[in-house]
A and B are shown apart, each in its own frame.
Chain A
């Protein structure tokens, strides 16, 4: 017995040394003594199927309901109930993974690469909230997005972020949007999904780092309202641009505003714009000059950033797995000892498979080429965002009542709850008298 085993092992080793790749070292047997039938391999179907259609229908229904609750019913309680539903359905039940935020990447990759297939449901998930935003404002963010709803639910003691910091951090979302699109169209990675802080919480599984990040965002969210939505969410960045164009909007009883500032203090997101102070308007000349200068600077900033972007194409390309593998191989050629664990695995994989090893240098070159072409556009986008922000900062508008900023307002409906005019607590005549001329 022992000898046969040794022989078999020897035969196996000998077969291994011939270098044949797997197949037919031991010819598959003909079964003669028994009626043995080869089992057929199973190929279970995907879990989804009808679900995608149901999800789109639920999304549409939730968007309609959210618009009605915010604009017609004006009910924070209703919005809150819908929020809970969205966290439960889109969050914990669907595990956050059919979502317009990540859909940005699928849509941009489909727009770029003709061979990339986009499911119809993903298309619907990406465009429905955009259309609703153009009609009703950010009702998607209000209570349909599970990420937004989760952060909205944990707001505890929000602090007002200083305006300069708010403006600066707000640019991050546009930067992130640019990066996500760049890496999606080059086929490198889906960063939005990879570094989504809340999906691991919804799934209650994931790497320790990502779970910690989610917890940090929720903790921060107790004191800074919706940090992800305001400063990172790339989809929120798009909606912030579309929302000011909306047909209907969130309004805080404009004809009964008595400057009580309750709405302002109730808004955890710093979205309420106060009235212009009474008194002589400041001179316009300096603003005009600044506007003129930034207008002239715009093309310069864009060009400069495009140049910077093309300079960054190398580091940006490192997000692509083929480039990572090629670099691991190059580093391994110098010294195997200094490799990180991941790079060592890549080198091992490279050495183990001749077919991919032969194709790798060309693939990596191809990817680098792609990045050389697209990185300047990313840079130009960043420049455009900065320049437009500078221009927007020079614009000024006179406000006679407290208004929700149409871009920043996520239609959470908190201010309705706080406004005394809304509650019918004010006699309209008193309100009219209390109002400034």
Chain B
């Protein structure tokens, strides 16, 4: 099926002995294109790294608008609430855990701010309680973050969790973020967490 003619670089339709003017032009342009591509690739190679940039939220810019829960291409979102325990006051009345003016300081669903019950409240010692985030349940709605930041120590904050994030070339939450809190960070320092102990 494949005879030699098919694979000749250029069709010798012109019938002449040497390459036609058109072929010569094509060859020269091809050479130039190769050189240009090589040059561009070489120039860019000096600006490459093994890993590139990934998306992260600057918790100090975040205004807890709630768009992280709704605008991520993933459902549930790759943005989760993380807890800087060293900053936490371990309050009995946690404004991140309880609805404003709760019926009682217990784990009743009607008292909880979190729509998915992702925060686990456990007694540590009088009068302190620990609050842990169950990431599988967290949808990144930032209701707890808002409560904690407005009335508490601000130990709860949102972060893009990279085990879930698809690292889209254009993060669709970043496009929607009203505060410009989303940044591209180097992949080897992927988190912008609050608290000193969170420094890698």
Contact = CB atoms under 8 A, between A and B. Distances in A.
Interface of A: 1, 5, 8-9, 12-13, 15-16, 21-29, 31-34, 36, 38-48, 71-74, 95, 97, 102, 105-107, 110-111, 114, 116-120, 122-123, 127, 130-131, 134, 189-191, 193-194, 200, 203, 205-207, 242, 244-248, 251, 253-255, 321-322, 325, 328, 342, 345-346, 348-350, 352-353, 355-356, 400-401, 422, 424
Q: Could you tell me the dominant secondary structure of chain B's interface residues?
A: loop
B200 interface: yes
B93 A8 contact: yes
B9 A247 contact: yes
Nearest to B60: A355
B124 to A, nearest CB: 5
B86 A38 contact: yes
B140 interface: no
Given A353-B179, A356-B179, A400-B13, A245 B33 contact: yes
Nearest to A342: B178
A225 to B, nearest CB: 25
A251 B89 contact: no
Interface string B111-129: 0000000000000111010
A132 to B, nearest CB: 11
A123 B63 contact: no
A110 B82 contact: no
A353 B162 contact: no
A36 B125 contact: yes
A40 B26 contact: no
A245 B60 contact: no
A245 B2 contact: no
Give the one of B132, B150, B168, B175 with max A CB within 10 A: B168
B153 A46 contact: no
Contacts of A119: 48-52, 187
Contact of B95 (A12, A105, A247): A12
Interface in B21-41: 26, 29-30, 33-34, 37, 40-41
A322 B180 contact: yes
B182 to A, nearest CB: 9
Contact of B195 (A15, A41, A118): A41
Nearest to B70: A207
A353 B49 contact: no
A23 to B, nearest CB: 6
Nearest to B123: A34
B172 A22 contact: no
B89 A25 contact: yes
Contacts of B9: 247-248
Contacts of B152: 12, 22, 25-26
Contact of A134 (B13, B34, B90): B34
Contact of B128 (A31, A246, A400): A31
A120 B47 contact: no
Contact of A117 (B6, B30, B53, B61): B53
B52 to A, nearest CB: 3
A306 B57 CA distance: 38
A45 B188 CA distance: 9
